[in-house]
Amino acid sequence: MRICIIGAPVDLGADRRGVDIGPNAIRYAGLSKQLQRLGHTIHDIGNLVVPQPESGSEGNLRLKYLDPIVQVSEELYHTVSNALQDNEFPLILGGDHSIALGSIGGVGSVHKDVGVIWVDAHGDFNTEETTPSGNIHGMVLAALAGLGHRQLTHIGGWAPKLNPQNIVIVAARDLDLGEQTLLKQHQVHVFTMSDIDRLGMSAVMEQAVALASRQSQAIHLSLDMDCMDPHEAPGVGTPVRGGLSYREAHLAMEIIADSGQLVSMDVVEVNSILDRENATAQLDVDLILSALGKKIL
């Protein structure tokens, strides 16, 4: 497989420095070399240029840094779309989770009714009315489903990008009250850590793949490293105790790989300022490898 690596060093959606270093930290952890060992061909196009507004220029405090986030999302949208049309697998390195506006939007322009498996401690299903922080990385999944501010929902000029019933959130354990209501109203499938505890990761992921692929054989994987327990992944901006173990995360990736339906992937929220000896970026690389075909035997 020919993999197009796209760096999206966006930190505006989280309003916290550190995740902008994430793409290069993941590369430094040996991503390209290890993917090549699996037999993949690598086309690394480097990092997109992200506008950096001056301190104190957040704009609307319920939609912080809206304009520059929209600007870079539009560029990422077209970059991902072009990679898919060139028969490449887009692997997008974040940056915060606001990059999914462009990454999933670009996938949706090529693969209609794409399903999304969103592995994350958070739902990211707020709008400007429900957000407790104004940080856009917590609104992106709702925007992709057509909810929220028009500039966010209409990246690429159309909306919605996703049918909410084709979205599966895995490893949730920190959902805001407003987004809980929206998730239920729009029938988004949510597997919490309690579900994983009761059912086991294997059963949860088999269901997740089946649900995400009901309308299309194409699945996009969005992997937020705060899905992991903080002991496993210390370098994230919004850690939540009680997350996935090392083996649970690898099993999740292996089941997605075995489905044969993965067409694109983004990995987000590696905060190198908070990391220890690049451990979170290295774990990210390990999980990417499992999602793209690496097996124990």
CATH of the domain at 207: 3.40.800.10
- Domain annotation covers residue 79: yes
User: Do the domain assignments include residue 125?
Assistant: yes
Render pLDDT for 101-128 as a digit per residue (tens, 0 to 9). Answer: 999 999 999 999 999 999 999 999 999 9
Residue at token pair 């072009």: 82
Mean pLDDT over the full length of the chain: 96
User: What are 80-92's pLDDT values in tens digits?
Assistant: 999 999 999 999 9
Give the residue-averaged pLDDT of 66-83: 97
Q: Is residue 144 part of a domain?
A: yes
- What is the pLDDT, as a whole number, of residue 113? 95
**Confidence bin at 56 (pLDDT 50/70/90):** low
**Does residue 262 belong to any structural domain of this protein?**
yes
Taking only the tens place, the pLDDT of each residue in 244-288 is 999 999 999 999 999 999 999 999 999 999 999 999 999 999 999
Cα 280 to Cα 137: distance, rounded to the nearest angstrom: 19
Asked whether residue 297 is domain-assigned, the answer is no
Residue 58's pLDDT band, with cuts at 50, 70 and 90, is: confident
Residue 162 lies in a domain: yes
Mind telling me the catalytic residues? 97, 120, 122, 124, 137, 224, 226, 269
Domains contained in the chain, number: 1
Share of residues in the chain with pLDDT > 90 (%) = 95
For every residue of 55-114, DSSP letters joined together read TT---STTSTTHHHHHHHHHHHHHHHHHHHHTT-EEEEEESSGGGHHHHHHHHHHHSTT-
SS3 state at 266: strand
Per-residue confidence band for 53, with pLDDT thresholds at 50, 70 and 90:
confident
**Mean pLDDT within 223-238:** 97
Measured CA to CA, the distance from residue 129 to residue 160 in angstroms comes to 19
Q: How many CB atoms lie within 10 A of CB 120?
A: 26
Residue 255 included in any domain: yes
**Portion of the chain with pLDDT greater than 70, in percent:** 99
Q: How confident is the model at residue 52 (pLDDT cuts 50, 70, 90)?
A: confident
Instruction: List, for residues 183-199, the tens digit of each pLDDT value.
Output: 999 999 999 999 999 99
Domain span holding position 35: 2-291
Phi, psi of 215 (to 5 degrees): -105, -10
In a domain, 296, yes or no: no
